[in-house]
Amino acid sequence: MNNQEVTKKKLKIFSIVCVCLLVYIETVCIWPACASETDEKQAVSPTQIQTTLTADLAAQANPDGLMLMTGGYRRWVQETAEDGMQTRYVQAGFGLGISPAYVKGSVHGEWQPAIFVNLRLEYDIYGFFGSNTGLLSFPDAKAKFGKHELEDRENTEEEATGHRLLLQPTLYAKAGSILIINQTDLAYYRFNGDGPYFLELEYDTLVKDSDYVIANRTQFLVPSWKWAGKAVLYLGPYYEITHARNADITRQRAGGQLYWLPMDTLWGMNKPRIYSQAGVNIQDRNRENEFYFAFGFGTDFNL
């Protein structure tokens, strides 16, 4: 490895560490100090228990994907603000997702100690069907896995299982009417396929058995349209960076997004939602300077 490659690798690692350090400083040092005065003024209400079922259908292009997600959770709400927003709660839940490539089962625990921070711990188990690019093995970290390369590997997928442990801290802030969300994924993977590298479909990257992926995304959401009740349309920009440790693959994306709650309830469904993202792959081994698109809709059912 020449000096230029070593320097490039160090810069990538340094940028990922800086993002994680910034998130830590905001969570532990800056944000609690800014919000402590507000938190002291909020009245603590008795704990309320909520049970909710969820259902979402999402699709994406470049790379192509389709996923039906269902699940549920029980939430113990410890504090609610005057506008009805849940500011402190703990939650436990499960999920089941299915796509043309695999089925995924998950359990999670979630804790929101204050209105500006949320911590989620999740375990996922994957069952790959041996088709539609799940599960594909690659000989080394430099292998390409673009559209044409995946077409050439058709019928070489493995029927196998995989595991993921996910730690996901999320920070929230408001600047006027603008909602700012910063979310980090710290994901650890295990696979029982041939390997040594595997195609991970959610982050569209190569991971090794016992490997880590770090992802950070920042969203700015502006309420551009409001109607009766909680109906609202959010629009704003979006930026994401992901890094696979062993393969040393970094991807950067930027674009715009929308999140639309057209009404409070519809035919027994609670908070029906439509969401979408579109943008360009700024840095990507296979799709650099190409556009990507994602679209989904879903709803909740309160029990």
Residue 132: closest CA among 107, 112, 96, 102: 102
Give residue 145's pLDDT.
92
Contact predicate 111/118, CB 8 Å: yes
Tens of pLDDT, residue by residue over 73-116, are 999 999 988 767 888 999 999 999 999 999 999 999 999 999 99
Q: What is the pLDDT of residue 227?
A: 83
Which domains occur in the chain, in start order?
3-302 (2.40.160.40)
Point out the residues of the chain with pLDDT beneath 50.
2-4, 6-44
| Residue 35 in tokens | 């919000």
Residues 6+ apart with CB under 8 A from 168: 119, 120, 121, 122, 183, 184, 185, 186
- Residue 213: CB partners within 8 Å, gap ≥ 6? 185, 187, 189, 200, 203, 205, 207, 242, 243, 244, 245
List, for residues 122-164, the tens digit of each pLDDT value. Answer: 999 999 999 999 999 999 999 999 999 999 999 999 999 999 9
| Residue type present at position 186 | L
CA dihedral sign of residues 137, 142, 255, 119 = positive
The 10 Å Cβ neighbour count of residue 90 is 15
123, 107 contact by CB (below 8 A)? yes
Using alpha carbons, select from 211, 224, 214, 229 the residue that is nearest to residue 266: 229
Q: Tell me the sheet residues that pair with 214.
A: 186, 243
Say which DSSP state 45 is in: P
